[in-house]
A and B are shown apart, each in its own frame.
Chain A
Amino acid sequence: MRVTRLGRAAAIVALGLVAVACGGSTSGSGSGGSKGTISIGVDLPESGASSSSGLPTLNGVKYAVQKAGGSIDGWTLTVENRDDAVGGSYNTDKGVQNVTDLIGTNTVVAMVGPFNSAVAQAEIPITNVAGLTMISPSNTNPCLTKDLSTCAFHPQDLRKKANNYFRVVATDDLQGPAMADYAYNTLGIKTIGIMDEKSVYGVGIADAFQAQFVKDGGKYQRQSFDPKTTTDWRAILQGFKDFGATGIYMGGTDDQKACQPRGQMNALGIGSWPYLGGDGLTTSQCIDDAADSALGLSATTAGADASQIPSAAGVITDFKKSFTGANDYGAYTMTAYDAANIEIAAIKKAIDGGANPKSINAFREAVRNNVSHTTNFPGVLGSTTFDANGDTSQKIISIFAVKQETQSRVAVGDLTCGKAGGPNALYCFEWTKQVNFGA
Chain B
Amino acid sequence: MERFQRLRATLSGDLGSTLFLLLGVLGVLWVIYLTIEQGPRSMIAVLIIGLTDGAIYALIALGYTMVYGIIELINFAHGDVFTLGAFFALAILGLFKLGPGANYTLAAIPILIFVTVVVMALNGLVNIAIERIAYRPLRNAPRLAPLITAIGMSFLVEGAMYLWRGPVDLRFPDLISENRYELFYGNFGPQGKVAPLIDLGVKDIMVVVASVFLVVMLSLFISRTKLGKAMRATAQDRDAAALMGIDINRTISATFFIGAALAGAGGIIYALYFNSIRFDLGFSAGLVAFTAAVLGGIGNIEGAALGGLLIGVIRALNDRYFSASWSDVVIFAILILVLVFRPTGLLGMQVPEK
Residues of A within 8 A of B (CB): 198, 223-226, 228-232, 234-236, 238-239, 242, 244, 255, 257, 260, 263-264, 266-269, 285, 288-289, 291-292, 422-423
Extra contacts, 13 of them, besides A223-B319, A260-B276, A267-B201 (Cβ < 8 A), are A224-B325, A226-B328, A228-B280, A231-B274, A232-B49, A232-B274, A238-B320, A239-B321, A242-B38, A263-B275, A285-B168, A422-B100, A423-B100
Contact A289 B276 (CB under 8 A): yes
Q: Which of B22-30, B122-130, B283-291 participates in binding chain A?
A: B283-291
In chain B, what residue has the closest Cβ to A231? B274
Contact B324 A229 (CB under 8 A): no
A224 to B203, CA, bound (A): 26
The 20 sampled A-B contact pairs (Cβ below 8 Å) are A224-B324, A226-B327, A228-B284, A231-B284, A232-B316, A234-B49, A234-B316, A235-B315, A235-B316, A236-B319, A239-B319, A242-B38, A242-B320, A257-B169, A267-B178, A267-B201, A269-B180, A291-B276, A422-B100, A422-B101
Shortest beta-carbon distance, A172 to chain B, in Å? 22
Does chain A have a CB within 8 A of B225?
A: no
Contact A263 B49 (CB under 8 A): no
Contact B190 A238 (CB under 8 A): no
Contact A236 B320 (CB under 8 A): yes
In chain A, what residue has the closest Cβ to B323? A223
Given known A-B contacts A234-B49, A244-B190, A225 and B327 have beta carbons under 8 A apart: yes
Contact A229 B169 (CB under 8 A): no
In chain B, what residue has the closest Cβ to A226? B328
Contact B325 A225 (CB under 8 A): yes
- Point out the residue from B42, B199, B281, B287 that lies within 8 Å of A242, measured CB to CB: B42
Contact B168 A238 (CB under 8 A): no
A65 to B244, CA, bound (A): 88
- Chain B residues contacting A289 (CB-CB under 8 Å) are 169, 276
Residues of B within 8 A of A (CB): 38, 42, 45-46, 49-50, 53, 100-101, 167-169, 171, 174, 178, 180, 190, 199, 201, 203, 270, 274-276, 280-281, 283-285, 287-288, 315-321, 323-325, 327-328
- Point out the residue from A229, A267, A269 that lies within 8 Å of B328, measured CB to CB: A229
Contact A231 B285 (CB under 8 A): yes
- Chain B residues contacting A239 (CB-CB under 8 Å) are 319-321
Contact B169 A267 (CB under 8 A): no
Given known A-B contacts A263-B276, A267-B203, A291-B171, A223 and B284 have beta carbons under 8 A apart: no
Shortest beta-carbon distance, A146 to chain B, in Å? 27
- Chain A residues contacting B171 (CB-CB under 8 Å) are 288, 291, 422-423
In chain A, what residue has the closest Cβ to B169? A289
- Point out the residue from B283, B324, B328 that lies within 8 Å of A235, measured CB to CB: B324
Contact A223 B201 (CB under 8 A): no
- Point out the residue from A238, A266, A285, A423 that lies within 8 Å of B169, measured CB to CB: A285
A80 to B28, CA, bound (A): 69
Shortest beta-carbon distance, B20 to chain A, in Å? 24
Shortest beta-carbon distance, A176 to chain B, in Å? 19
Shortest beta-carbon distance, A271 to chain B, in Å? 10
In chain A, what residue has the closest Cβ to B285? A231
In chain A, what residue has the closest Cβ to B317? A235
Contact A260 B328 (CB under 8 A): no
A238 to B270, CA, bound (A): 20
Shortest beta-carbon distance, A374 to chain B, in Å? 41
Given known A-B contacts A238-B42, A288-B171, A422-B171, A225 and B324 have beta carbons under 8 A apart: yes
A231 to B203, CA, bound (A): 16
A311 to B49, CA, bound (A): 53
In chain A, what residue has the closest Cβ to B38? A242
- Chain A residues contacting B280 (CB-CB under 8 Å) are 228
- Chain B residues contacting A223 (CB-CB under 8 Å) are 319, 323-325
A234 to B46, CA, bound (A): 8
Given known A-B contacts A234-B49, A235-B320, A242 and B325 have beta carbons under 8 A apart: no
In chain B, what residue has the closest Cβ to A239? B320
A294 to B266, CA, bound (A): 27
A298 to B53, CA, bound (A): 29
Contact B53 A266 (CB under 8 A): no
Contact A229 B327 (CB under 8 A): yes
A40 to B144, CA, bound (A): 60
A230 to B327, CA, bound (A): 9
A225 to B203, CA, bound (A): 24
- Chain A residues contacting B50 (CB-CB under 8 Å) are 235
- Chain A residues contacting B199 (CB-CB under 8 Å) are 269
A238 to B41, CA, bound (A): 11
A238 to B100, CA, bound (A): 27
Contact B49 A235 (CB under 8 A): yes
Shortest beta-carbon distance, A418 to chain B, in Å? 10
A155 to B288, CA, bound (A): 42
- Chain B residues contacting A285 (CB-CB under 8 Å) are 168-169
Shortest beta-carbon distance, A185 to chain B, in Å? 25
